[in-house]
């Protein structure tokens, strides 16, 4: 089926009960003089563009085990993918999915929107955005005002994709006035950051943030330190920084992998920057003072940190070096949490709980309270059910996509911490139903879960497990105030 977009005609492929259009450019390739610059409109093309294959993915550390190994790494990565059942007089809800990967990895091709399109009658969009140094390296202090947006270009890429959706999605049968942005992990952090950006106003009507909020927004001090470390890793002095504009992208990625203090591939090195222009200096305060914001479905998992602890030897015991590289100037708060939990829990459990709270739970609470303060409806969840490692980071995604994964036999009970046992089939179905209801009409209440009240003044949280229930006044750890903490290193 051929569809006309603002840049030209595109032709997709019919697959799994819907049409798929892959690799549609939503912005010009950010190469040459456009490196470290904000995205620009894509050039038009003549004829019909063949969109059967995903486009190249953003430069990142090479992963030999990645899905779609045939996809090339390229700076020319700003493309998106659309799944739809076709044009329609009655326009359908739209989901725009932002992939995770710690701001240094991932791709839109990791998402499969087939079931959303074929079974839920949504129009599903996934996208690539610039990662790591190419998307989140703040260079204004080094290279001048011309590069004022460089610390947030990855976010501007996402906004450009949302603008493309506003202009083009109706041709695919999608309703541009009914757009839900959804993401997990870093994708959730990008989703949350959109709430703080005036440039994103009006581009989405609601959002789902799974295990991520605004906690990865860096202050300018941290952003400058990251830039300094990258230059040092490249063997460059500040006066030589213009070489960043010409070095091979692969060299930048190699440098960023050794530039930071994080042994886990610099997972916590990059993120959006509170520059006072695109993103307010104090994002949470900004949200608290904002007029009514889009409705939000947000939450975290009980054992988020357990996965990182299991796979990263550097995280497997409490020490000051670990907390310094993860939390910088905020590390003392995490020590306090750990010592309190150690009074009632084994050391390893107390360590995991403290990291989970400060990496994820508190940030989600901060955002939920701030968005609710604006008068917007907020629904919050806490996933307590999990696999043999517990309710680890990303486990809610496995539950929501349980039917797809089971059909494709993607889980292996013996060694996969994301395996979903049959006993959780009802929970998985209830979560999928609630998420879809929220996407469709902005309210997650369905008969498959207990009545789900708004977060509101009672701080009501849906505790997700096979026998789910609502808990009120789920508060942060004792002694920790829920206030914005800019990530400092």
Which helix (H) or strand (E) segment holds residue 142: the answer is helix 140-143
110 and 249 assigned to the same domain? yes
The 10s digit of each residue's pLDDT in 142-177 is 999 999 999 999 999 999 999 999 999 999 999 999
- Residue with structure tokens 């991932």? 106
Of 260, 281, 302, the last residue of a domain is 281
377 and 230 assigned to the same domain? no
Q: What is the extent of the structural domain holding 467?
A: 312-489
pLDDT band (50, 70, 90) for residue 476: low
243 and 338 assigned to the same domain? no
Q: Report pLDDT for 480.
A: 41
The 10s digit of each residue's pLDDT in 375-401 is 999 999 999 999 999 999 999 999 998
The 10s digit of each residue's pLDDT in 287-342 is 999 988 999 999 999 999 999 999 888 888 888 888 887 887 788 888 999 999 99
275 and 326 assigned to the same domain? no
Q: Is the pLDDT of residue 481 over 50?
A: no
Q: Is the pLDDT of residue 285 over 70?
A: yes
Instruction: Give strand pairing partners of 92.
Output: 174
Q: Report pLDDT for 260.
A: 63
Show which residues are catalytic.
185, 304, 393
Return mean pLDDT, the chain. 91
Of 238, 262, 281, the last residue of a domain is 281
The 10s digit of each residue's pLDDT in 44-59 is 999 999 999 999 999 9
For residue 438, give Cα distances in angstroms to 125, 191, 301, 378.
17, 16, 19, 11
Higher pLDDT, 480 or 82: 82
- Angstrom distance (rounded) from CA 484 to CA 195: 15
- Is 56:68 a contact under the CB 8 Å cutoff? no
Q: Is 286 within a domain?
A: no
Q: Is 426 within a domain?
A: yes
Q: Is 38 within a domain?
A: yes
Would you state the structure tokens that stand for residue 389, as one six-digit string? 């490692």
233 and 377 assigned to the same domain? no
Of 242, 261, 281, the last residue of a domain is 281
- Average pLDDT over every residue of 258-264: 58
354 and 259 assigned to the same domain? no
Which helix (H) or strand (E) segment holds residue 349: the answer is helix 347-356
369 and 245 assigned to the same domain? no
- Average pLDDT over every residue of 435-449: 97
Which CATH number do you get for residue 253? 3.40.50.1820
Q: Report pLDDT for 489.
A: 38
The helix/strand/coil state of 3 is strand
374 and 419 assigned to the same domain? yes
Sheet with 92-98: strands ordered across: 13-15, 18-25, 79-84, 123-127, 92-98, 174-184, 206-210, 296-301, 378-383, 461-464, 469-471
Contacts of residue 321, Cβ cutoff 8 Å, sequence gap at least 6? none
pTM above 0.85, yes or no: yes
Q: Is 56 within a domain?
A: yes
Would you state the structure tokens that stand for residue 384, as one six-digit string? 């307590």
Number of domains in the chain: 2
Q: Report pLDDT for 12.
A: 97
Q: What percent of the chain has pLDDT over 70?
A: 93
Q: Is 88 within a domain?
A: yes
Q: Report pLDDT for 409.
A: 60
Q: Report pLDDT for 202.
A: 97
Q: Report pLDDT for 312.
A: 87
Q: Of the ranges 77-81, 98-102, 319-323, which one carries the lowest mean pLDDT score?
A: 319-323
The helix/strand/coil state of 45 is coil
166 and 258 assigned to the same domain? yes
267 and 341 assigned to the same domain? no
- Is 371:293 a contact under the CB 8 Å cutoff? yes
- Angstrom distance (rounded) from CA 59 to CA 249: 7
Contacts of residue 226, Cβ cutoff 8 Å, sequence gap at least 6? 137, 138, 218, 259, 260, 269, 270, 489
Q: Is the pLDDT of residue 424 over 70?
A: yes
Q: Report pLDDT for 167.
A: 98
For residue 79, give Cα distances in angstroms to 58, 62, 108, 181.
10, 20, 9, 17
- Average pLDDT over every residue of 23-32: 97
154 and 276 assigned to the same domain? yes
- Angstrom distance (rounded) from CA 438 to CA 207: 9
341 and 267 assigned to the same domain? no
Q: Is 288 within a domain?
A: no
Q: Is 245 within a domain?
A: yes
- Angstrom distance (rounded) from CA 397 to CA 389: 15
Q: Is 138 within a domain?
A: yes
Q: Which 8-state DSSP code applies to residue 466?
A: T
């Amino acid at each position: 089926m051929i569809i006309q977009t603002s840049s030209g005609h595109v032709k997709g492929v019919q697959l799994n009960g819907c049409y798929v259009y892959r690799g549609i450019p939503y912005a010009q390739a950010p190469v040459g003089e456009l490196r470290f610059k904000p995205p620009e409109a894509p050039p038009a093309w003549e004829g019909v563009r063949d969109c059967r294959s995903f486009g190249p993915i953003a430069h990142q550390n090479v992963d030999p085990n990645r899905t779609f190994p045939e996809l090339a790494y390229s700076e020319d990565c700003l493309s998106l993918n659309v799944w739809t059942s076709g044009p329609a007089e009655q326009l359908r809800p739209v989901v725009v999915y932002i992939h995770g990967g710690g701001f240094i990895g991932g791709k839109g091709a990791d998402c499969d929107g087939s079931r959303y399109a074929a079974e839920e009658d949504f129009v599903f969009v996934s996208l690539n955005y610039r990662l790591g140094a190419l998307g989140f390296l703040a260079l204004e202090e080094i290279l001048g005002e011309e590069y004022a947006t460089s610390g947030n270009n990855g976010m501007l890429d996402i906004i450009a994709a949302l603008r493309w959706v506003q202009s083009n999605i109706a041709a695919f049968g999608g309703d541009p006035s009914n757009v839900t942005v959804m993401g997990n992990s870093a994708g959730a952090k990008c989703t949350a950051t959109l709430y703080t950006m005036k440039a994103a106003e009006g581009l989405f009507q609601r959002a789902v943030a799974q295990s991520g909020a605004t906690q990865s927004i860096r202050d300018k001090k941290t952003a400058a330190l990251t830039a300094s470390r990258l230059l040092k890793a490249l063997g460059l002095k500040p006066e030589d920084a213009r070489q960043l504009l010409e070095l091979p992208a692969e060299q930048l990625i190699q440098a960023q992998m050794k530039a930071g203090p994080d042994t886990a591939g610099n997972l916590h090195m990059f993120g959006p920057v509170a520059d006072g222009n695109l993103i307010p200096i104090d994002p949470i305060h900004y949200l608290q003072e904002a007029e009514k914001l889009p409705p939000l479905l947000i939450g975290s998992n009980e054992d988020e940190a357990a996965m990182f602890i299991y796979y990263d030897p550097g995280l497997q015991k409490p020490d000051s070096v670990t907390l310094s590289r993860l939390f910088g100037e905020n590390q003392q708060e995490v020590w306090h949490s750990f010592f309190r939990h150690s009074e009632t829990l084994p050391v390893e459990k107390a360590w995991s709980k403290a990291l989970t709270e400060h990496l994820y739970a508190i940030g989600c609470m901060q955002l939920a309270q701030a968005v609710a303060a604006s008068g917007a409806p907020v629904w919050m969840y806490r996933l307590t059910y999990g696999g043999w490692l517990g309710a680890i980071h990303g486990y809610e995604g496995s539950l929501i996509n349980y039917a797809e994964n089971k059909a494709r036999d993607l889980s292996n009970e013996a060694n996969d911490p994301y395996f979903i046992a049959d006993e959780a089939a009802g929970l998985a179905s209830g979560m999928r139903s609630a998420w879809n209801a929220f996407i469709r009409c902005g309210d997650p209440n369905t008969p498959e879960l207990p009545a789900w009240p708004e977060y509101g003044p009672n701080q009501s949280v849906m505790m997700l497990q096979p026998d789910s229930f609502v808990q009120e006044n789920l508060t942060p750890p004792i002694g920790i105030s829920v206030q914005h903490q800019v990530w400092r290193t």
